[in-house]
Every structure is written in structure tokens, then in C-alpha cells.
Structure 1
Amino acid sequence: MSYSHLLPPSWKSQVTVWLQEDTPSFDYGGFVVGEAEKTAFLLGKGKETAVLAGVPFVDEIFAQLGCTVEWHMAEGETFEPIKRVATITGKARFLLLGERVALNLLARCSGIATKSRRFRDIARSNGYKGVIAGTRKTTPGFRLVEKYGMMVGGIDAHRHDLSSMIMLKDNHIWSCGSISNAIATARQAGGFSLLLDVEVRTEAEADEAIEAGADVIMLDNMEGDLLLQTARRLREKWSGKRFLLETSGGIEENNLRERAVNEIDILSTSAVHQSVQHIDFSLKIQKSS
């Protein structure tokens, strides 16, 4: 299975924009090195076991520069530093034109995949069978790469944009006057094909959302015994209704186990993609023999 098959037709044009941004006028360093054919090693460094993610983006960066990439491991596999993860061949100035764009992308995408894999493994080791998901708190212009990293890491990317699922949060509800009003209006516009996820702060708000027909109930910032008992009571009270329960807000590695309880269907967190530790990579052109 290759996650690259999910990428939309438009994504390659974004690579062109990245290259244009990095070299908007003269390439002074490229002038120095010229166009001799060279081989470069892509090295995975850092201090910890990491997940490789971002392969199709790196391939396209160097393809647009007339270089070829040979990967020595599959995307989604883990590696220990220092590992030669790929060999790249091409003209020296084009290798260097792609170097920083590729390394920056690979560092962030792999960092997200690594953190996502760690969250998934912690939850599974705790016996959690539900969905671990990211959030929409992504970097403008870089969402596709960040969501891709989550998926390679083995978690759910959650909604990709405002159009892919209806999520009603506190501001939507306050603007409409009530949860029921917000749900009714959203359902009228979104029809049957979009799931409706509603953020609630109390059990009473959850009751209102379930009764009004929400598909997913996000129990925002509930923790510990309150989260567990609320989830159990909701399932008992509304046993004839179909809905999913989601927990979100303040979830980190140090409290993941207490939130990853099987009474909850979805655990969503921005900790897997915001402020993650990037994975260190470097590109080393080999000296001619």
C-alpha cells in the first residue's frame, strides 16, 4: 500500500512553488559548483528511532530538477541514526537546489510520522482499540504534507478542511443560540453525506447534541474519571442512538493512557503535529575518486 496514491493531481505544482520560493533569482552557489554529475547520500541522523515519511514529495522535488532518487528503505519503516536512507544522483547544482527544500520537508513529515507512531503504540499497548487522530491545527500551505505524515505514522488524519466534515464548536453554537439550532441548520446545508461532529463541555450539552442527531460527540477537555463516567452514562442513556464519542483537548504523551479508554471511540490531539521534534537529515555529495 502506498499513501502516495492518495495525493491529489494538484500537489506537484506545490513543489514547483517551494523551489521558486527558495531560489527566486540567481543561484550563486550553483554557479560555483557547475553541472558535473555527482552522487549524494541522504542520511537519517538525529538521536532516536524515527519513521521515514515524505518520500513522494522528495521524489518530485528532485525529479523537477532532473535528479534521480534511489531509496534504501520503504516509507513508513523505522530507522536508527545514522542511516543512509537514499542515494541521489544528478548534476551538482541541481542536487544543491533541491537539498534544503527536500531536507526541510522530510524533517517535518518524518517528525510528525514518528510522533504519530509513538502515540498509536502507547494507546495500543494500553489496550485501546479506538481511533487515534490528529486535528486541523496544521500549517497553512503545508497541510497536505502534515496530514500525510500522520497517515504514514499510522493514525487518522481527522478532517482535512472545513468542507470534509461539519464540526460545530463553541463559537458556532453561541452564534446560533443553542446546540439544537446549530445542528438543524448544519444538517440542512450538509445533507446526509457529511458527518456532524459537535463539541460539548458538559454531559447536558452532550445529551442535547445526541438528541438533535449529531454523529460524533466531542467531550472537550474532559479527563480522568469524569470522562470515563460521562461516556458510560451517555452510552447507557442513549443505547438506541448511533453516535461516536470523541475526546480532545490537552492530550499529551504523559496523559495519553488515562484518556485512551475504550468507552471513547476517537482520541484527537494536535500534539502529534504541532511543535513536534523534527527528524534530522543531511545530504552529502560524495567526492570524486
Structure 2
Amino acid sequence: MSAIANRPVLPALMIEDAVKAALLEDWGRAGDITAQATLGPDLTARAVIAARQPGVLAGLEIAATAFRLSDPAIAVEPVLSDGDAVAPGNVALRVEGPARAVLSAERVALNFLGHLSGVATATQAFASRIAHTKTRVVCTRKTTPGLRAFEKYAVRCGGGANHRFGLDDAILIKDNHIAVSGGVRAAIEAARAFAGHLVKVEVEVDTLGQLREALDAGPDVVMLDNMAPDTLREAVEIAGGRVLLEASGGVTLDTVAAIAETGVDLVSVGWITHSAPVLDLGLDIALDGLPG
């Protein structure tokens, strides 16, 4: 089961809009002509969504919404919750209702659930590697267009934390901003003059010299880009707890522990959203009158 104390929540309206668009994309101009051709209109079906491999669930309510929007007559019963660990064969969701509608929603439900559970599973893999440290795994803006809120939700289901959601909720000064604005200090000072009192300022640095310059200008967070563990450790000593330190760049499961053990506060991993493998889940169905 999940160890998440406060489960994240996605607004129902956000889910409905995304699922509706996905169903319309899949159904096209004529609906599911395979289901219409092969299944009688009065036929009902029972089905379960079950795991085919171990992982962490995310997106159950999204999957459930796909069935409900396909036909309000479909009854949906969640068996597990987002953030729960699953093993092969574990049932996550039960559905029962008009067979045509169940099958018409199957792929959209599994696409969302498999992808988001894959993100949660990947996040959990990283988080477990650094559980012995104070460092937290955070995601990035390297997300699937249109699915950012869902993928960041899945990161939280997997035990990670979120970086900024977009360009409008925090200031992150990167190398190109620094190059154009005239330097680390100039960029930070301009950001401080612009930002509201609730907006945090983060700056990316490539060297310890840039770190020292950044610290003098007073950012909230410093991103240490593509630094080796020995350099990260020195950066932690230089910062002395004055700012949050985020390690970033090329982080893998093989390197994340050594990075976290340097004492940085955060490690950002784009891979958990842009390249996480889909978690294999399937829909097993039995028509009324048959076993199952």
C-alpha cells in the first residue's frame, strides 16, 4: 500500500476535459464501429483492470472517468488507490455495464493509467535509491504537451515532489538568461526587482565561481548543473545552508545515490516524466453468463 500521508488530488473538471478530448479523438466521426458491429446493444460486461508487472499506481480516477463518460450506466469500483504498490495480478479497478461502452473506453483508460503509473513507478525507483538521505526527487518541465498536470501528479504518487509547473509560477534563471542579461548577479538582481513577494528565484550555475557570485546576490535556490559528486560536495560546503541546492543534469538510477549523498537538497530528474516506461496493465473482461 501507499505510504503517502496526504494523497495528491486532481480536480474532477480537469480530468473530465482531458478524458473527453481523448475519447473524442479515439472515437472519431462514427464511434467504435468494431463494438457496434460485433456486440449487441443489450449485452453487458464485467471487467477488471489488473497489473501485469510490479509498480506504483497513478491515474485510477482518470481511467474511471473514461468509463463513466463512455456511458453513465457503467458502474466503476476502485479496488486500490493512486500511490499504492501493485504486483502482477493485483486488481486495481472493476467495471460493469454496457459491453459496447466498456470496450470503447478501454484503450483511453489504459493509456492514461499505464502512462501515469509508469511515471509514478519511475519516480518511486529514484526516491527509493535516496531514501537514506535528506534529498528529494523533483520533476522538471520536460513533460508531454497537454499532460503536465497529470504527470506531475503521478510524480507525487510515486513519492517525488514537483518543481515549477510552468513559466509563470517561479523564476528560473538559466544559462541563456545569464548570457543575455550580463551575468549571474545582474540576472538575479533583475529578477528580485521584478518578482512579487511570493515568487521564488532560482538560478542555474555551471561552476563554483558562479555559485559564489549567485550567493552574494541572494537567490532562493541554486541549481548545480552537471556537476560531479566531489564538486557538489564542495558546493554544499560553500553554500553553508544559505540557499536550497538542486543538482541537475544527466541523473540516472546508477548515479542518483552518489549525488544525494553529497548533501544537496533536491535532485531534478527529467527522465521520470519524459522517458518513464509505461506500466503494463490490462483489462480482463467476461461477458455475462461466462466465468469471471
Aligned length: 279
Matched, 1:110 2:114: no
CA shift for structure 1 position 167: 0.6
Task: Give the whole-Å Cα distance in 2 for the aligned partners of 1:108 and 1:188.
Answer: 41
How far, CA to CA, are the matches of 1:114 and 1:55 in structure 2?
14
The alignment's TM-score, normalised by the length of structure 2, stands at 0.91
Structure 2 unaligned blocks of 5 or more: 1-5
Q: Check whether the contact 2:233–2:262 (CA below 8 A) recurs between aligned residues.
A: no
Q: Does 1:182 align with 2:187?
A: yes
183-192 or 220-229: which moved more? 183-192
The correspondence for 1:122, drawn from 113, 119, 129, is 129
| Ranges of 4+ aligned residues in structure 1 off by more than 4 Å | none
Within 5 Å, give how 1:19-34 maps onto structure 2. Answer: 19-26=23-30, 27-32=32-37, 33-34=39-40
Sort the Cα spacing of 1:141 and 1:56 in 2 relative to 1 into closer, same or farther, 3 A: same
Taking the TM superposition and a 5 Å limit, the aligned residue runs for 1:50-61 are: 50-61=55-66
Structure 1 position 94 matched with structure 2 position 98: no
| 1:64-75 superposed matches below 5 A | 64-65=69-70, 66=72, 67-75=74-82
Find the partner of 1:168 among 167, 170, 173.
173
User: What corresponds to 1:252 in structure 2?
Assistant: 252
State the AA in 2 paired with 1:97: S
The residue matched to 2:172 in structure 1 has which SS? Answer: strand
Q: Give the aligned CA root-mean-square deviation in angstroms.
A: 1.6
> Could you say which residue in structure 1 is the equivalent of 2:45?
38
Q: Does the C-alpha gap of structure 1 residues 55 and 255 become closer, same or farther in structure 2, counting only changes over 3 Å?
A: same
- Look up the equivalent residue of 1:179 and give its one-letter code: V
CA distance in structure 2 between the aligned counterparts of 1:178 and 1:276, rounded to whole angstroms: 35
Distance (whole Å) between structure 2 residues aligned to residue 139 and residue 149 of structure 1: 13
Q: Do the aligned partners of 1:196 and 1:216 also contact (CA within 8 Å) in 2? A: yes
TM-aligned CA deviation for residue 106 of structure 1: 0.7
SS of aligned partner of 1:192: coil
1:207 counterpart (177, 191, 212) = 212
Alignment of 1:266-277 (within 5 A): 266-277=266-277
Aligned to 2:11: 7
| Mapped pair 1:229 → 2:234 | yes
Q: Percent of pairs identical after alignment?
A: 33
Shift, 1:262, TM fit: 5.4
Q: Which residue of 1 aligns with 2:139?
A: 134
Aligned with 2:255: secondary structure? helix
Any gaps of 5 or more consecutive residues in structure 1? none
CA contact (8 A) 1:201 1:219 kept: yes
Distance 1:13 1:141 in 2: 11
CA 1:24–1:255: 2 relative to 1, 3 Å: same
When normalised by structure 1's length, the TM-score is 0.91
